């Protein structure tokens, strides 16, 4: 204990390897593995994580936006990279960096074909996304003939993959709906491939999909949160290891008299004598105001200390009255002994939001 000197997000690449191998063990041998590394690899470290995944044998990477893909190419990652949510203004850069865009609407498809033609591309790989019930991004089943119309008489692009996304893959109560989505996707893929004259790779499952719908792996699956140690299910969480641990130190201790207050707007009122610790981490680091006022707790020497009062931009105060600690001691915000899922749940959010909110000013340390 105690080599942490400032707020640090530790990234454990052996935990990443463990999670990758666990998820792989749930796949058929021939199923390809697309690792989702959007949002700084779920708030960790894009390049370190992507390099490790490449080494572990991931077949594909995916990011949300073009700029995230460019970062990977600049780090000399050579795996195919799917850009899930590209905007037309970046289509030139997508081709320049050899990224594979997701085509999610007639407008996007038309504009990307134009760009690929103007750059004299042939068979440039794209993914076509169908909406099967999430109602977020994607073509409708009724767009198939439109897509075929756009694709014929051109050689600039070629459909490498077709995909869809489940709306509630973690929710057993929505099993029927999910199975309906899978069935619709299968039907769409068959119709599209018949009309194309070849079969693109199909991918639909996210982490919870891999765990709950093994029959729908098709040729590839897309996993994000599972790689980082969370499976949206307490049983699965036991099998996985958290990749990120957020640690900080006690900057200062304060003895608080009865009827004093702590922090902005005097939100914490002391009932009696209290000992508080001020930590160098706040909402600008990703610990939002929802965690304050007693909602979330951190660990000091293995003991729970609640965050009291309002979370400040660069600080939080915790109650350490019953904990023997001193200035400079290490504090665990979340990690192996206190899971990010538990911390997030204390403020009614989820590990995805907590992890991806950890801001870029927090030091990353790869272990
Ligand atoms: C983020 C994302 C994923 C990864 O989902 P997890 O639940 O983190 O495994 C997969 N597919 C799409 C389309 C996504 O946006």
Task: Give the model confidence (pLDDT) of 179-217 as tens digits.
Answer: 999 999 999 999 999 999 999 999 999 999 999 999 999
Q: pLDDT-derived band of residue 142, with 50, 70 and 90 as boundaries? A: very high
Kindly give the distance from the C-alpha atom of residue 127 to the centroid of ligand 1, in angstroms, as a whole number: 15
Question: What's the confidence (pLDDT) of residue 43?
Answer: 98
Active site residue 264: yes
CA of 163 to the centre of ligand 1 (A): 12
Spatial distance between the Cα atoms of 226 and 242, rounded to a whole number of angstroms: 9
Tokens representing 175 are 């099993």
Helices (H), 7-75: 13-25, 38-43, 46-56, 66-74
Phi, psi (degrees; rounded to nearest 5) at 3: -95, 5
Q: Is 86 in the pocket of ligand 1 (CB under 6 A)?
A: no
Q: Does 38 qualify as catalytic in the annotation?
A: yes
* Per-residue pLDDT at 1 exceeds 90: no
DSSP reduced 3-state for 209: helix
What average pLDDT does the segment 130-134 reach?
98
Give the mean model confidence (pLDDT) for residues 95-123: 98
Give the number of other Cβ atoms within 10 Å of residue 206's Cβ: 21
Tokens standing for residue 176:
């029927």
Q: Does ligand 1 come within 6 angstroms of the Cβ of 164? A: no
Q: Per the structure block, which two tokens stand in for 177?
A: 């709906």
Q: Determine contact, residues 363/8, Cβ cutoff 8 Å.
A: yes
Catalogue the long-range contacts made by 229-236 (C-beta closer than 8 Å, 24 or more residues apart).
229/15, 229/19, 229/340, 230/339, 230/340, 230/341, 230/351, 230/352, 231/207, 232/170, 232/207, 232/208, 233/170, 233/208, 236/211
Predicted local confidence at residue 3, as pLDDT: 84
| pLDDT of res. 178 | 98
- What letter does residue 124 receive in the DSSP assignment? E
Residue 228 Cα: closest atom of ligand 1: 8
Q: Residue 44 gets which letter from DSSP? A: S
Please give the share of the chain, as a percent, with pLDDT higher than 70: 99
Structure tokens at 251: 């900057």
- pLDDT per position as a tens digit, 310-367: 999 999 999 999 999 999 999 999 999 999 999 999 999 999 999 999 999 999 999 9
Quote the tokens at residue 286. 């990703």
pLDDT tens by residue, 44-59:
999 999 999 999 999 9
* Ligand 1 atom, smallest distance to 85 CA: 15
- The rounded mean pLDDT for the chain is 97
Phi, psi of 246 (to 5 degrees): -105, 120
- Residue 262: pLDDT over 90: yes
pLDDT in tens, 272-281: 999 999 999 9
pLDDT at residue 2 above 90? no
């Amino acid at each position: 204990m105690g080599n942490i000197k400032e707020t640090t997000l530790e990234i454990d690449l052996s935990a990443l390897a463990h999670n990758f191998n666990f998820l792989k063990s749930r796949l058929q041998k021939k199923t390809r593995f697309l690792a989702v590394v959007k949002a700084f690899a779920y708030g960790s470290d894009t390049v370190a994580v992507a390099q490790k995944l490449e080494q572990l044998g991931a077949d594909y990477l995916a990011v949300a936006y073009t700029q995230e893909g460019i970062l990977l190419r600049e780090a000399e990652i050579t795996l195919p990279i799917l850009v899930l949510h590209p905007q037309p203004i970046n289509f030139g850069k997508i081709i320049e960096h050899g990224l594979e865009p997701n085509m999610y609407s007639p407008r996007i498809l038309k504009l990307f074909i134009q760009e690929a033609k103007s750059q004299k591309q042939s068979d440039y790989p794209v993914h076509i996304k169908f909406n099967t019930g999430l109602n977020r991004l994607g073509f409708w089943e009724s767009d198939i003939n439109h897509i075929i119309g756009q694709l014929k008489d051109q050689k600039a692009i070629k459909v490498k993959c077709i995909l869809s996304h489940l709306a509630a893959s973690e929710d057993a109560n929505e099993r029927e709906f999910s199975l309906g989505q899978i069935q619709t996707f299968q039907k769409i893929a068959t119709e599209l491939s018949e009309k194309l004259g070849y079969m693109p790779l199909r991918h639909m499952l996210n982490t919870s999909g891999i765990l709950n719908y093994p029959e729908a792996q098709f040729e590839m699956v897309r996993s994000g949160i599972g790689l980082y140690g969370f499976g949206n299910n307490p049983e699965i969480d036991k099998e996985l290891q958290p990749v990120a641990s957020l640690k900080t130190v006690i900057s200062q201790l304060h003895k608080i008299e009865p009827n004093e207050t702590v922090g902005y707007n005097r939100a914490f009122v002391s009932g009696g004598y209290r000992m508080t610790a001020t930590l160098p981490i706040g909402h600008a680091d990703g610990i939002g105001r929802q965690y304050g006022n007693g909602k979330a707790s951190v660990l000091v020497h293995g003991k729970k200390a609640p965050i009291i009062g309002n979370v400040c931009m660069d600080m939080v105060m915790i109650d350490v009255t019953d904990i023997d600690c001193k200035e400079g001691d290490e504090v665990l915000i979340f990690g192996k002994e206190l899971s990010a899922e538990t911390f997030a749940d204390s403020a009614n959010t989820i590990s995805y939001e907590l992890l991806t909110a950890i801001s870029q000013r927090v030091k990353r340390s790869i272990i």
